[in-house]
Amino acid sequence: MTARGRRVVNHVMGGLTALAAGLAILPLVLIFAFLLFQGASAVNVEFFTHLPKPVGEEGGGMANAIVGSLILVGLAAGLGLPLGILGGVYLAESRDRRLPWIVRFLADVLSGVPSIVIGIFAYALVVLPMRRFSALAGAVALAVIMLPIVVRTSEELVRLVPSSLREAALALGIPEWKVVLRVVLPTARAGIITGVMVAIARVAGETAPLLFTAFGNRFWHQGLDQPIAALPLQIFAYAIAPYDDWHRQAWAGALVLIGMVFVVSLAARVATRGRFSGVR
Amino acid sequence: MESTAHGLSLTPLARTRAARVNVGDRIFRVVLRLAAGALLLLVVALAAEMLRTAVPAIQRFGWRFLVTSVWDPVAEQFGALPFVYGTLVSSFLAMLIAVPLGIGAAVYLAELAPPWLRPPVAFLVELVAAVPSVVYGLWGIFVLAPLLRTWVQPALGSTLGFLPLFQGPPYGVGMLAAGIILAIMVVPFITAVSREVLLAVPNSQREAALALGATRWETTRLAVLSYGRSGLIGAGLLGLGRALGETMAVTMVIGNRPEIALSLFAPGYTMASVIANEFTEATSDLYLAALIEVGLLLFVVTIAVNGLARLLVWSIGGAVKVARE
C-alpha cells in the first residue's frame, strides 16, 4: 500500500471508531431528552408526597415507591456491605493458597448471574418459607447483587494501600487485625465508599429481582415482612398499563429514578477524583 | 528461649505478648475466612436451591423440556424451546450490533482519541451503563417501537423483504426491537471491559510498531489488538452474558408470544421474560418448577459464558503482569 493509502486508512479508521464512540453515547442523549420532554411536567411536589391515585383520577404521586426503594436499598446495604467489605479485605490480605482464587472467581461469576435468577434464589430462600412476599426478600435479593461489586472494589482498594504504611504499623508491634482496622481500612475509606455508592446506584434501579420478592404495593409500607413498593416496579407497572395518565407518571418516575442513580454515580466519581487517577 | 522466624530470641514477657497478639490475629483471620466462605456458600446455595425447587419439572419432562415448544400451563405441558430460541436470537442480534460498536468505541477511547477527550467520553459511556433496565424498557415501548413500526420496518420490508427475516406485518415490538435495545444496553459494558484490556497492553508494543513507521491505526491493529485479542473476546463474552440474562427492557419490547418465528418483525419471548411475566401467576407447583427450571438453565448458561470470559480477560491481565515484571 502506498504511504498515502496508509494515511487515508488511518484517518478512515479514526473516523469510524469515533463514530462508534458517538453511537455508544447517543442513547444517553436520546433517553435524557425524552425523559425531560415527557416526564418533567409530571414531576411536582405532589409526585413526591402523595400515594398513587386509582385509575381515572388525575394527579397522585409515587411517594410510597420512593420511600420503599430507599428502605429496600438501605436494608440491602445493611445486609451486603459488612460481608462484602470483609470479603474484600480477605482477598487482599490473605496468604491462603487456593481459597482466595476460588472466591475471587466466584465473585466475578456471581456478578454475571442475571438479576432475575437472583430473584428466584431470594424467592426460594425467603418467600417460600415465610409464605408471603416481603420487603425482606427484596432486600436479600438486592444484597446478593451488591455483594460481588463490593467485594471486588474493596479488594482493589485495600491492595492500593501502600505496604510501607502496613509495615510501619507492624514494626511498632501492632497486631495485624488492628493494623487492618485502624490503618489499612481508614486509608482506603474514600475508595471503598465509592465502590459502595456504585453498588447502591446499581441496585437502586433493579427491577427484575423485585417482581416476585418485594412484589410492590400501592400503599405505604406496613413492615418488613409485608410486600413493599419500589420505584422501578412502579415504573414497570405503569409503563405496561394502558392508561395515558399512568404513562406520564411512569416517565416522571423514570426521570426521578435516573436522577437518583446519576447523582449517586456522580458523587462516587467526585469522591475519588484525582486520588486514584494514576492507578486506573 | 525460643527463636522466632526471624531468628530473634524473645524474653518470656515478649513471648506472652506475642501469644496474645496471635489470638487476636487468629480470630481476625477466622472472621475473614468466614466472610469469604459465606460468599462461596452463597453461590453453592444458589445453585442447590434452584436445582431443588426445579426437581418436579426436571423429573416430569426430562430432555423434552428443552426440545418441545408447547407451553400450556392449563394442560401442565411445558416445553421451553421458544424461550431458548428467543433468548439466543435476541442476544445474537444484539452482539452483531454491539461487538463492533463496543470494541470500536474502546479503540477510540484507548488509542485514537485526543487525550483531553478521553476522560469525559469514558465517563459518559459509564453513565449509559448506569441507566436502569426499566428506563430502557420505557423508552423502548414509547420511542423505539413506534419508530421501528412506522419507519424502519416498512423500509426494511420493501427493500430486503425477499428474505424471510424481514417479512410479516410491522408491529414495532418484537425480536428486532429486543435485539436493538439489548445492543444499546450491552455496548457500554463491552466498551468498558475492552478499554481496560487495551489499556493493559504494554506501551513497548505500541512503541515497537511506531518505531517501524506504522501509522496510529496500524499500530493499533498490529500491536495492540492482536496482543489483546483474548481479552477482547472475553469482553464480548461478558457482554453476551449480560444480554442473555437481561430481563426488564426485553420483556417490555419483545412482544411476549411463545412462538418460534423466523421473521425478526414477529413477537417472541425470552427465558428471562417468561420468568418475569409468569412467576407470580404460577398457580401449580409444576408450573412454578418449570419456570424455575428455565431460570436454572439461564443460570448454567450465563455461568459458563461468564466463567470462560473471566478466564480470557484474566489471561491477558496475567500476561501483562508477566511482561511488566
How far is A81 from A112, CA to CA, in rounded Å?
19
Count CA atoms closer than 13 A to A166's CA, side-chain side. Answer: 15
Task: Considering only residues B33 and A54, tell me which one the structure prediction assigns the higher pLDDT.
Answer: B33
Which residue of chain A comes nearest to B38, CA vs CA?
A83
Helix/strand/coil for B113: coil
pLDDT for the residue numbered A222: 85
Residue A170 has pLDDT above 50, yes or no: yes
CB-based burial label for B171 (10 Å; 0-12, 13-18, 19+)? middle
Q: Residue B35 and residue A17: Cβ atoms within 8 Å?
A: no
Output the nine-digit C-alpha cell for A72: 429496600
pLDDT for the residue numbered B2: 43
The model's pLDDT over A71-118, given as tens digits with 9 standing for 90+, comes to 999 999 999 999 999 999 999 988 888 899 899 988 988 988 999 999
Q: Residue B138 and residue A254: Cβ atoms within 8 Å?
A: yes
Residue length of chain A: 280
Check residue B299 and report its DSSP letter: H
How far is A233 from A205, CA to CA, in rounded Å?
9
Report the run of H or E that residue B72 belongs to, with start and end: strand B71-72
- Selected for mutation to probe chain A from B8, B31, B42, B143 (highest A CB count within 10 Å) is B42
Average pLDDT, chain A: 90
pLDDT for the residue numbered B10: 54
Q: Residue A112 and residue B272: Cβ atoms within 8 Å?
A: no
Residue A151 has pLDDT above 50, yes or no: yes
Chain A residues close to B241, C-beta within 8 Å? 112
pLDDT for the residue numbered A30: 93
pLDDT for the residue numbered A195: 87
Chain B residues close to A205, C-beta within 8 Å? 130-135
pLDDT for the residue numbered B190: 95
Residues in chain B, pLDDT under 50: 1-5, 7, 319-325
Q: What is the complex's ipTM, to 2 decimals?
A: 0.91
Residue B40: Cβ within 10 Å count: 15
Residue A214 has pLDDT above 90, yes or no: yes
Q: Residue A17 and residue B107: Cβ atoms within 8 Å?
A: yes
Which residue of chain A comes nearest to B190, CA vs CA?
A24
One CATH from 2.40.160.40, 1.10.3720.10, 3.40.50.970, 3.30.420.40 for B64-324:
1.10.3720.10
How far is B269 from B274, CA to CA, in rounded Å?
7
Chain B residues close to A6, C-beta within 8 Å? 215, 218
Distance of CA B300 to the CA centre of its chain: 13
pLDDT for the residue numbered A58: 77
Check residue B78 and report its DSSP letter: E
**Minimal Cα–Cα distance from B163 to chain A, Å?**
27
Helix then strand count (H, E) for chain B reads: 15, 2
**Minimal Cα–Cα distance from B11 to chain A, Å?**
15
Of A17, A96, A121, the CB nearest to B50: A121
A48: left (phi over 0), alpha (psi -120 to 50) or beta: alpha
Its pTM stands at 0.91
Check residue B165 and report its DSSP letter: G
Q: Residue B39 and residue A151: Cβ atoms within 8 Å?
A: yes
For residue A30, CA distances in Å to A17, A25, A40, A57 come to 20, 9, 15, 31
Which residue of chain B comes nearest to A81, CA vs CA?
B35
What are the extents of the domains in chain B? 64-324
